[in-house]
Amino acid sequence: MNVAATPEQPGHDCPLCPRLVEFRQKNRATFPEFHNAPVDSFGPLAARLLIVGLAPGLKGANRTGRPFTGDYAGDLLYATLKQCGLATGRYDRRADDGFALVDCRVTNAVRCVPPENKPTPAEIKTCRRFLADEIASLKRLRAILALGRIAHDSVVAATGGRPSQFRFAHGAVHALPNGLQLVDSYHCSRYNTQTGVLTEGMFRQAVATACGLLADAASSSRNEHENRG
């Protein structure tokens, strides 16, 4: 079995985006007990599914230091992953709650919390180097679930495609230039669920679609092995 390399993660005081650095310093003064640094990916390096969100929430991952941990989006995401057999333990909005992912890894297109949760195009592009390395380093990776349009576009660009050629649509499945499969979902934010843009059922179906791609990949691998034998 191929062993995944450790993907590059931005340092605790990553200097690449001046606006985000300034916001980080303000938050360190205002919320000294928070993580207030780039948020590393969460989950095993041998994962076959990568979930990509937008950016850490100010009082969610920016507080706890773990993606999607501490806010409503994480409540829905991690409950759904556990229902689908992609997580174990009890999620408790804390990075030390013992919750663990199975065959799944979670990251963000932008690793630092942006003001008003809105990264600029330049910040998204600058942080894409970490996403590209993440994808390239996970040697067993078969599918990616993008939460929202920005995550979708960043994944497409990070894998050598043009976002204009891959239309974002909830539930859509795309064959990426590097051979991976991309599944789209609306972001599991409180705003999207409260306004009805995304229901819990819709989100479960998107995750189930991604899981189905993993099953299909495993079946194809077994058939190929048997044919060679």
Structure tokens at 52: 């990509």
Q: pTM of the prediction? A: 0.93
Domains and CATH numbers, the chain: 18-222 (3.40.470.10)
Radius of gyration of the chain, Cα coordinates, nearest whole angstrom: 17
Tens of pLDDT along 170-189?
A: 999 999 999 999 999 999 99
d(CA 144, CA 174): 10
Other beta carbons less than 10 A from residue 136's beta carbon: 16
- Quickly state the pLDDT bin for 132 (edges 50, 70, 90): very high
